[in-house]
Amino acid sequence: MTDEKYPPSTAQAKHPATTPNEMRSTLHTSSSQPTETTGNLLEGIPESGADLTSIIQTSFKDQQPILLIDDTDIFYRSALVFPAEIATPELVNSCLKKTNGATIQVALSPKRAEIFQLEPMGFNRFESRDTRTNTPRELVSVEARKNVSTGISAHDRAETIKVLGMNEPNPRGIVKPGHIFPIRTREGGCLVRSALAEAALDMTLLSGFRDAACFLEFFNEQGEYATQKDWHSVVTSDGIGCVTISGLIEHRLKHEQLIRRINEVNLPTSYENDMKAYLYRSEIHKGDHIALVKGEITQDVPVLTRVHPEDTFIDVFGASSARENTPLHVALQAISQAEVGVLIYLRRPEQTPLARSLKQENRHKRPVGTRMKEYGLGAQILRDLGVKKIDLLASSEAPEAGLASYGLTVIRQQPLVRTQAEEI
């Protein structure tokens, strides 16, 4: 069972690109993928705040689906989403027509999936749950036990969806297999995995509904991923609300307190000045984050700041013959010489296999969702430290928009100046 963001699909199989850059190139040349830029469509989509919450709540209370766009994925997948508990034959039939007969999936929280006693698709019944390497996402298809006939009609599918979203989940209310496909989501939602299932569940929870979200992935009439033209048609002609995964991530980062300070110590360093180390723990991610502070933080003086995501190979072994020439050590050197500075070292949320980490070393740009989470967690730590004004040490990537919502102002951005490595 794969633990990828999305399982391999026929659309991806048609484009055997091996690197993100190659895949992006394929994306803009294939007729099965969007060829125009996403800017025009996404301009009218609420990014965060009351607009996003309002559009979700209003649509769901009116028993209308919402178009969810995964703008963190190179294929820009999309889906129509609604809470499982509001399913009706009319709503199901309408979504099936708009998505051209897509498979109906229901995103469930880990707890709800456990209560329903749903086994993974294609599981080995002789394998212990404790010995499985990955937590399965795709679960055995289900059908409502009562009030259905063949299970394929819009009425029968709506009945099954409602059973999965019932107030008190009961495993005796379903039979297996069936025509509805449950998906086990990750704890922490789109802040842990930026995928359609997690985002769909976050939307239902954000609007006050239960932890079961129905979503139908959006395809065009040719059976390929829907393009922006298809999205625009649905949004404008049918008046359906539209939300992006990056908007959901940004909203949660701004409105949920995800970190807490658990310890602080004076830290001797190999640089000119010692620093103070603050240890933070995330409420949803495994692992702790560290903030190294030089000097006294005040609201008036800009703080030289570096938010540095953990990168084992470069941080420990170095990208050149001189370990001191790595971005982490260059940032530490600059901060140690500043009047006041902060380096935030963000630990990875979970252990990554070394083989995958080595492949990722060839990537020049991290996914949008990943960068937003890094900036969001870093911003929450900076806010807790009392930082107001930032002199940002950054690589070639520009800082994420929206830092002002955390009470932070970027006074200046300066690049990391790396010296020429000396020959050994």
**Which is higher by pLDDT, 54 or 105?**
105
Measured distance CA(86)–CA(43) in Å, rounded: 29
Beta strands in 42-190, from DSSP E residues, in sequence order: 66-69, 78-83, 104-108, 142-144, 174-184
pLDDT of residue 27 exceeding 80: no
Measured distance CA(400)–CA(376) in Å, rounded: 9
| Bridge partner residues of 265 (DSSP) | 277
Least confident range of 146-155, 172-181, 400-409: 400-409
Q: Cα Rg for the chain, rounded, in angstroms? A: 24
CATH 3.40.50.10990 maps onto the chain at 257-415
> What pLDDT does residue 356 have?
56
Q: What is the mean pLDDT of the chain?
A: 79
Measured distance CA(32)–CA(34) in Å, rounded: 7
Least confident range of 162-166, 273-277, 327-331, 394-398: 394-398
CA 237 vs. chain centroid, Å, equals 29
Report, as an integer, the average pLDDT of 248-261. 88
pLDDT of residue 58 exceeding 70: yes
Name 16's Cβ contacts closer than 8 Å, sequence gap at least 6. none
Residue carrying the six token digits 């010692």? 274
Cβ(391)–Cβ(304) below 8 Å: yes
Q: What is the Cβ-side half-sphere exposure of residue 339, based on CA atoms within 13 angstroms?
A: 8
> What pLDDT does residue 369 have?
62
pLDDT of residue 215 exceeding 90: yes
> What pLDDT does residue 104 have?
97
> What pLDDT does residue 32 have?
40
pLDDT of residue 143 exceeding 50: yes
Name which of 201, 190, 129 is nearest 164 in CA terms: 201
Residue 203's alpha-carbon distances to 136, 145, 198, 250, in angstroms, are 22, 28, 9, 13
Q: Locate all alpha helices (DSSP H) within 296-392, ordered by sequence.
A: 312, 327-337, 354-360, 368-385
Phi, psi of 224 (to 5 degrees): -100, 170
**Which is higher by pLDDT, 248 or 369?**
248
Name which of 385, 378, 374, 388 is nearest 277 in CA terms: 385
Residue 97's alpha-carbon distances to 169, 221, 234, 250, 325, in angstroms, are 29, 10, 11, 31, 57
> What pLDDT does residue 112 have?
97
Name which of 367, 359, 366, 371 is nearest 18 in CA terms: 359
Name 49's Cβ contacts closer than 8 Å, sequence gap at least 6. 251, 254, 405
pLDDT of residue 333 exceeding 70: yes
> What pLDDT does residue 69 have?
93
Measured distance CA(353)–CA(347) in Å, rounded: 15
Q: Which of 1-5, 111-115, 349-353, 359-363 has the highest mean pLDDT?
A: 111-115
> What pLDDT does residue 271 have?
74
Q: What percent of the chain has pLDDT over 90?
A: 43
> What pLDDT does residue 34 have?
40
Measured distance CA(386)–CA(403) in Å, rounded: 14
**Which is higher by pLDDT, 402 or 235?**
235
pLDDT of residue 108 exceeding 60: yes
**Which is higher by pLDDT, 125 or 414?**
414
Least confident range of 110-114, 175-179, 239-243: 239-243
**Which is higher by pLDDT, 371 or 173?**
173
Other Cβ atoms closer than 10 A to 48: 19
pLDDT of residue 167 exceeding 90: yes
- What digits encode the pLDDT tens for the residues 362-421? 554 566 666 767 778 888 999 999 999 999 988 755 555 557 767 888 898 888 765 544
- What digits encode the pLDDT tens for the residues 265-286? 998 877 767 799 999 998 777 7
Other Cβ atoms closer than 10 A to 261: 13
> What pLDDT does residue 31 have?
35
Other Cβ atoms closer than 10 A to 351: 9
Q: What percent of the chain has pLDDT over 70?
A: 73
- The two three-digit tokens of residue 81, written as one number: 């989403």
pLDDT of residue 2 exceeding 90: no
Q: In the CATH hierarchy, which top-level class contains the domain 10-248?
A: alpha beta
CATH 3.90.870.10 maps onto the chain at 10-248
**Which is higher by pLDDT, 355 or 174?**
174
Q: In the CATH hierarchy, which top-level class contains the domain 257-415?
A: alpha beta
